[in-house]
């Protein structure tokens, strides 16, 4: 069974044993296992959706926010997409054994640096059952065992998905213990998992700041945070208005409950009189609540300009004054903070102060401004004239991702196959001794 209630230490030791076998498996065996997992997901879709229905009913009774319900929800199309992501990962090149660098030293030693699996990866995540399979597929392809710990809100969905993946993997020749879902424990279980130094090589939490803080307080195992996304779109003085509108609306509304959705819009003062009435109308039509600074509120008060845009949406504008807290908030819903800035430098300063280092975008025709934004913004992904919604392992050609790392060691950005590897040096000689 993939889901266990045995002591955490026993589970992690079993995963460590499995990792030693996984690290030596041929690519074809791993790929066959992934193909079997993908096929099993689709043939057992009714089982998955029945489990998900149980979670959805409980979530509605608990009155979870719509953004969380959207993360939790599965249907046939989403299960098919999850299976396709597994197949995409199977089709990718195997990173294990890839030569990163190599040379022959002056003394005749041959030195190669190659990619190798990390070993055992523990993934802790909230209310997104697709992560169960995405993380499993990425770990298995990169030669790692995986220990999964999902949230209580997705307990039935995660159990079904992990059980199917584990059965398919083992049936395809992968070792027992390579996929395990821990379920049923509270904070004590989390603390125990986070201190398994002898068997867990890396923990990746995928959730909000509360999960991050809880792990930071107890973890002795290395942690790579797939952290929150307080993402910005900055509309520069030379931005084409139609393009800027399309990017802002996509970044905010295409899927507002995810970490790469925009939470703050910054607008250069020179373009604000033309752009603010237009974008407020578009945001109103999309049902977005705007939390705005004083200059944005003043421009919004010009109802004749709003009306000139020819959209009835402006009449239903939801507009409130922004507080200091709004600039630092990851809403994960249809709320957007809007501020007018005096310069590109001020926009970069705002992002530096309030951003989470996830994804930031500039809309501009000025190549020098674009370059200054790319160099000046410290984030995992920096966009020029594109929506922040593209920050995703699938979109980046990684097949899928476990999350988006906002750290700088050892990986940054979408966590895919190569990010689940470390390296070792292979040194070959012919009786060499050091003098």
- pLDDT confidence of residue 2: 57
Domain interval for residue 251: 231-390
Give DSSP secondary structure letters for 174-206. Answer: PPTTSEEEE-S--HHHHHHHTT-TTT--EEEEE
Is residue 183 located within the same domain as residue 108? yes
* Residue-level length of the chain: 435
Considering the domain boundaries, does residue 264 fall inside one? yes
In sequence order, what are the beta bridge partners of 115? 423
pLDDT tens, residue order, the chain (435 aa) = 455 556 899 999 999 999 999 999 999 999 999 999 999 999 999 999 999 999 999 999 999 888 789 889 999 999 999 999 999 999 999 999 999 999 999 999 999 999 999 999 999 998 889 999 999 999 999 999 999 999 899 999 999 999 999 999 999 999 999 999 997 667 888 999 999 999 999 999 988 778 888 899 999 999 998 768 999 999 999 999 999 999 999 999 999 988 999 999 999 999 999 999 999 999 999 999 999 999 999 999 874 454 544 343 445 789 999 999 999 999 999 999 999 999 999 999 999 999 999 999 999 999 999 999 999 999 999 999 999 999 999 899 998 899 899 988 889 999 999 999 999 999 999 999 999
Considering the domain boundaries, does residue 213 fall inside one? yes
- pLDDT confidence of residue 177: 97
Considering the domain boundaries, does residue 395 fall inside one? no
The interaxial angle of helices 272-285 and 241-253, nearest 10 deg, is 40
Is residue 285 located within the same domain as residue 415? no
Alpha helices in 24-144 (DSSP H): 27-43, 45-61, 66-72, 76-91, 130-141
Is residue 207 located within the same domain as residue 146? yes
Is residue 24 located within the same domain as residue 123? yes
Is residue 252 located within the same domain as residue 310? yes
**Dist CA 290 CA 3 (whole Å):** 43
Number of domains in the chain: 2
**Dist CA 117 CA 94 (whole Å):** 11
Considering the domain boundaries, does residue 435 fall inside one? no
Q: For the domain that residue 96 is a member of, what is the CATH number? A: 3.40.605.10
Is residue 200 located within the same domain as residue 172? yes
Q: What string of H, E and C letters represents the secondary structure of 236-267?
A: CCCCCHHHHHHHHHHHHHCCCCCCCCEEEEEE
CA R_g for the chain: 24
- pLDDT confidence of residue 78: 97
Is residue 218 located within the same domain as residue 325? no
- pLDDT confidence of residue 183: 79
Considering the domain boundaries, does residue 64 fall inside one? yes
Is residue 217 located within the same domain as residue 359? no
DSSP annotation of 118 reads: -
Considering the domain boundaries, does residue 433 fall inside one? no
Is residue 105 located within the same domain as residue 202? yes
Is residue 346 located within the same domain as residue 412? no
Is residue 54 located within the same domain as residue 174? yes
Is residue 374 located within the same domain as residue 417? no
Which of 435, 427, 433, 431 is CA-nearest to residue 104? 427
Q: For the domain that residue 341 is a member of, what is the CATH number? A: 3.40.309.10
């Amino acid at each position: 069974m993939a889901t266990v209630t045995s002591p955490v230490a026993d589970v992690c030791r079993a995963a460590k044993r499995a990792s030693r076998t996984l690290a030596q498996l041929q690519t074809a065996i791993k790929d066959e296992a992934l193909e079997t997992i993908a096929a099993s997901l689709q043939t057992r879709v009714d089982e998955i959706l029945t489990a998900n229905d149980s979670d959805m009913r409980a979530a509605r009774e608990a009155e979870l926010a719509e953004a969380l319900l959207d993360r939790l929800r599965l249907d046939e199309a989403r299960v098919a997409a999850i299976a396709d992501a597994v197949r995409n990962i199977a089709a990718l090149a195997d990173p294990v054994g890839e030569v990163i660098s190599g040379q022959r030293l002056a003394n005749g030693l041959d030195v190669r640096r190659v990619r190798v699996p990390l070993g055992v990866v523990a993934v802790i995540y909230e209310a997104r059952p697709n992560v169960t399979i995405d993380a499993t597929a990425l770990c298995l392809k990169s030669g790692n065992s995986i220990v999964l710990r999902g949230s209580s809100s997705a307990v039935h969905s995660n159990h079904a998905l992990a059980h199917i993946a584990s059965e398919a993997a083992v049936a395809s020749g992968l070792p027992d213990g390579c996929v395990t879902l821990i379920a049923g424990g509270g904070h004590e279980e989390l603390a125990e998992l986070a201190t398994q130094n002898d068997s867990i090589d890396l923990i990746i939490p995928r959730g909000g700041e509360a999960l991050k803080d809880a792990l930071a307080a107890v973890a002795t195992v290395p942690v790579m945070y797939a952290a929150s996304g307080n993402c910005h779109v900055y509309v520069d003085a030379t931005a084409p208005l139609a393009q800027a509108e399309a990017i802002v609306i996509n970044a905010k509304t295409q899927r507002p409950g995810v970490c790469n959705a925009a939470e703050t819009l910054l607008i250069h003062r020179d373009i604000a009189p033309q752009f603010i009435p237009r974008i407020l109308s578009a945001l109103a039509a999309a049902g977005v609540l705007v939390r705005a600074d004083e200059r944005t509120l003043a421009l919004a008060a010009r109802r004749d300009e709003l009306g000139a845009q020819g959209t009835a949406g402006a009449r239903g504008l939801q507009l409130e004054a922004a507080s200091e807290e709004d600039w630092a908030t990851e809403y994960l819903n249809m709320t957007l903070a809007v501020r007018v800035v005096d310069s590109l430098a001020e926009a970069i300063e705002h992002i530096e102060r309030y951003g989470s280092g996830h994804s930031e975008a500039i809309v501009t025709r000025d190549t020098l401004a674009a370059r200054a934004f790319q160099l000046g913004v410290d984030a995992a992904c920096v966009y020029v004239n594109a929506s922040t919604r593209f920050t995703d392992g699938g979109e980046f050609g990684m097949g899928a991702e476990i999350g988006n790392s906002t750290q700088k060691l050892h990986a940054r950005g979408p966590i895919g196959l190569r990010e689940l590897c470390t390296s070792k040096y292979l040194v070959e000689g012919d009786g060499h001794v050091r003098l």
